[in-house]
Amino acid sequence: MIIAFIVIAIVFDVSEKIDDLITNQAPMKEILLDYYLNFTFFLGNLLSSILVFLTVILVTSGMAQKSEIVAILSSGVSYRRMLLPYFVAAGVLVIFSLIISHSILPRANEVRLSFEEKYIYSSFRITEENLHREIEPGVIAYFQSITASKNVGYKFSIEHWDENRQLRKKLIASKATYFPEEDKWEIINVQVRNIAADGKERISRFNRIDTTINLKISDFGQRLEVAAALGDRELNEYIEQEKLKGSDQVVFLLIEKYSRTSNAFAIFILTLIGVAISSRKSRGGTGLHMAAGVLIGFIYIFAMKLSSVSATNAGVPPIVAVWIPNTIFLLVGIYLYRKAPK
């Protein structure tokens, strides 16, 4: 089941990216080993719970149509005992999924995303305006707009605030350019305001300043997928850094953190639902059970997306939003389990 879905996904992905791969002259070895091998890990783990769900339906429905479920229950085996092998297998798959999500997949994503940045998404844009970041306690950097491809920001300022929340220094410039090779900034048309404790100001002006600042263009925006390439420790550190900067990406990072666990445990829940809806012999046969399974799968994916939106736009705590679909479907699974013929 996993192989079938991955092959289909690769065909669509190739058709979408073939022009970029040819234009940027991506080597075939890197395409196969760096991108599509790691793309397989990414997609397989992403769809693991849904694919396990469909596989459970396919196997259980086949048993039901041959009256094997009836024979098992008629022999005195309880419905709960019949579920035990399913959950033993699901437990093994959950362990594999957790290992992959927390250890293997971040490294695979690092290679895959590096390939994408080199050959597919070579240019990155920061479309937001009026960007603020706290680069260290009491020091606030601001850009009105940024052209990430040129490492240039416009209407730049840095404010220094003391522990009493009083502004002590402010640098204002028309443009600031970052040179990553030298890790320095070139600031043009600079005005520096120094404010003393008694409120007196001293203003200095410079045509150009070359300086080092604990700041990079990437601090104001980068692909959210970067979080998927970080291990657990690196991701936690990155989240803390973004919190100190006041970044609006923190919610997305927390969703990535909690999803690594919740997606794996969804295998247990969907296994329960899969057995419950497909263990009843029906006139529609396996096809009817598969259709119901696909419908439930789409609803589950929709619920996951909806919960993510609720976290990013409605202020729902990310850990709550991530586990809402699992909680709802667990209740559905318990209801279907109770209604299943025993």
Tokens of residue 197, six digits = 């404790």
Strand order in the sheet with 131-136: 131-136, 139-147, 152-161, 167-179, 184-195, 201-211
Q: Tens digit of pLDDT for each residue in 36-51?
A: 999 988 888 888 888 8
CA dist 152 and 130 (Å) reads 14
Distance between CA 158 and CA 172 in Å, rounded?
A: 7
Longest dimension (CA), the chain: 92
How does pLDDT run across 84-126, given as a tens digit for each residue? 999 999 999 999 999 999 999 999 998 988 888 788 875 566 7
**Three-class secondary structure of residue 163 per DSSP:** coil
Q: At what angle do helices 250-278 and 318-339 cross, to 10 degrees?
A: 0
Q: Which residue has the higher pLDDT, 206 or 125?
A: 206
Flag the least confident range among 22-36, 113-127, 201-215, 310-324: 113-127
pLDDT for residue 195: 86
Q: In terms of Cα–Cα distance, which of 111, 106, 101 is closest to 31?
A: 111
Tokens 């719970």 belong to which residue? 49
